[in-house]
């Protein structure tokens, strides 16, 4: 498998740096907020746009990205399916993501949505993007300015340069079970990982052989920023995720797993894939194995 990319730049920008750069004409900021709510039977989740939240207050100069509407293949039976290169380039250009721009992404939650957009940009060859560490929560806690008027960035030219090895499909994941050169990590909660409670996406449990690092657990509950790098290194390293093996991260729909990919990139780990359809696909295919306990 080809390496996901050449050297990954540090994927995070801090709030103070962004505040100092708000007037930069090459800066394009995007609020990526979405919301998930469990269905009554816990078989999946309802997805809603965060555009109303955006209208209630966003970082000055930020436009809004609705991942499900703007950057996903809506004809797919799976949520958040990737667009083809040409369609993605058109969509990104309409949003104002251009080849020469500096992109900053955030959301009003724990930044998994922002991380997913960042990962998609990387997959199509765009390296000049960062995620705001701590997102809107940290920005608000620090008393930084907000505005409510919607922003639309000028149309831009985005050149898609697809890279292999960023998104895994179910065949790739099935082939990785038990492989000595791949580690599979579940970004959902420990309860979901064990198949005890929470959303189960059709069948409770996990992909066999996968370990668990809950994405919400790698975020500081006080600041909403990622945990300090030494602590992240300990948590991922203790599970053998920072060695020479390739890592495949999954969750319910490939969103929380993108935050795992972001954290691993911050630690310098390059050989990472996100199982794009994750358990929304795997748990609903009875031919694929599940593990509980």
Q: Which of 251, 26, 292 is nearest to 153 (CA)?
A: 26
Claim to verify: residue 196 and residue 119 sit in the same structural domain:
no
**Does residue 290 lie within any of the structural domains?**
no
Query: What is the count of structural domains for the chain?
Result: 2
Is the pLDDT confidence value at 169 over 70? yes
Q: Which of 174, 168, 167, 187 is nearest to 285 (CA)?
A: 174
Claim to verify: residue 136 and residue 248 sit in the same structural domain:
no
pLDDT in tens, 55-77: 999 999 999 999 999 999 999 99
Claim to verify: residue 60 and residue 135 sit in the same structural domain:
yes
Claim to verify: residue 17 and residue 134 sit in the same structural domain:
yes
Q: What is the dihedral of CA 175, 264, 227, 131, to 10 degrees?
A: -110
Q: Could you list the residue range(s) of the whole structural domain that residue 199 is in?
A: 167-282
**Does residue 152 lie within any of the structural domains?**
no
pLDDT in tens, 245-288: 999 999 999 999 999 999 999 999 989 999 999 999 999 999 99
Claim to verify: residue 94 and residue 173 sit in the same structural domain:
no
Separation in Å, CA 99 to CA 28, 91, 111: 11, 13, 24
Integer Cα distance of 47 and 273 in angstroms: 23
Q: What is the CATH number of the domain that holds 271?
A: 3.40.250.10
**Does residue 160 lie within any of the structural domains?**
no
Claim to verify: residue 22 and residue 132 sit in the same structural domain:
yes
Q: List residues bridging with 29 in a β-sheet.
A: 62, 104
Query: The tokens 């436009």 sit on which residue?
Result: 63
**Does residue 26 lie within any of the structural domains?**
yes
Beta strands in 214-287 (DSSP E): 246-250, 272-275
């Amino acid at each position: 498998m080809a390496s996901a990319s050449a050297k990954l730049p540090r994927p995070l920008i801090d709030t103070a740096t962004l505040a100092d750069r708000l007037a930069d004409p090459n800066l394009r900021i995007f609020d990526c907020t979405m919301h998930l709510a469990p269905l009554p039977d816990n078989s999946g989740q309802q997805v809603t746009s965060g555009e109303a939240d955006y209208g209630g207050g966003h970082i000055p100069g930020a436009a809004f990205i609705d991942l499900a509407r703007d950057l996903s293949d809506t004809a797919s039976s799976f949520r958040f399916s990737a667009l083809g290169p040409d369609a993605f380039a058109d969509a990104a250009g309409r949003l104002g993501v251009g080849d020469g721009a500096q992109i900053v992404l955030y959301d009003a939650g724990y930044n998994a949505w922002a991380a997913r957009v960042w990962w998609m940009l990387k997959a199509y060859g765009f390296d000049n993007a960062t995620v705001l560490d701590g997102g809107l929560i940290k920005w608000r806690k620090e008393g930084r300015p907000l505005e409510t008027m919607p922003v639309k960035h000028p149309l831009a030219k985005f050149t898609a340069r697809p890279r292999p090895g960023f998104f895994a499909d179910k065949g790739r994941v099935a082939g990785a079970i038990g492989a000595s050169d791949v580690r599979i990590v579940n970004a959902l909660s420990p309860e979901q990982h064990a198949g005890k409670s929470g959303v189960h996406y059709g069948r409770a449990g996990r992909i066999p052989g996968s370990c668990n690092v809950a994405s919400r657990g790698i975020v500081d509950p006080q600041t909403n920023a990622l945990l300090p790098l030494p602590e992240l290194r300990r948590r991922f390293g203790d599970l053998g995720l920072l060695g020479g093996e390739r890592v495949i991260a999954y969750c319910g729909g490939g969103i929380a797993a993108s935050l795992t990919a972001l954290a691993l990139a911050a630690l310098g780990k390059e050989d990472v894939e996100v199982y794009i359809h994750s358990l929304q696909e795997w748990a609903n295919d009875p031919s694929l194995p599940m593990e509980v306990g």
